[in-house]
Copies of this chain bind each other. A is one copy, B any other.
Amino acid sequence: MIRHTVAFRLKHAPGSATERDFLQAACELAKIQGVQKFECLRQTSAKNPFTFGLSMEFADADAYAFYSDHPDHTAFVQQRWIPEVTEFIELDYVPHAP
């Protein structure tokens, strides 16, 4: 299992229609084959600058690569993410038993 997460901040005003439209478009990524446990999240800690998050899981690296390279994902990045996101951090996790 690979959990792909991203925390981000939008240029849109909080609570605005443009903010909601971006998040609804992001939720469409859940439809790409191999995406599991897709979550749209609000980031609530004051210890970082981000206000939203996305989290999804993939069975393995191949499923993650299929998503990353999928035209619906690359189009979203070009048409929505780059123009509308001001800052972000990607964090990917796999289980670890110390």
Binding site for B on A (CB under 8 A): 2-3, 7, 19-20, 23-24, 26-27, 39-45, 47-48, 50, 52-53, 55, 89-98
Contact = CB atoms under 8 A, between A and B. Distances in A.
Interface SS, A side: strand
B42 A96 contact: yes
A91 B42 contact: no
Contact of A89 (B2, B3, B89, B96): B89
Contacts of A2: 44
A45 B92 contact: yes
24 contacts: A2-B44, A3-B41, A19-B98, A23-B96, A23-B98, A27-B98, A39-B93, A40-B96, A40-B98, A41-B95, A42-B93, A43-B92, A43-B93, A44-B93, A44-B94, A45-B90, A45-B92, A47-B89, A47-B90, A48-B89, A48-B90, A55-B93, A89-B89, A91-B91
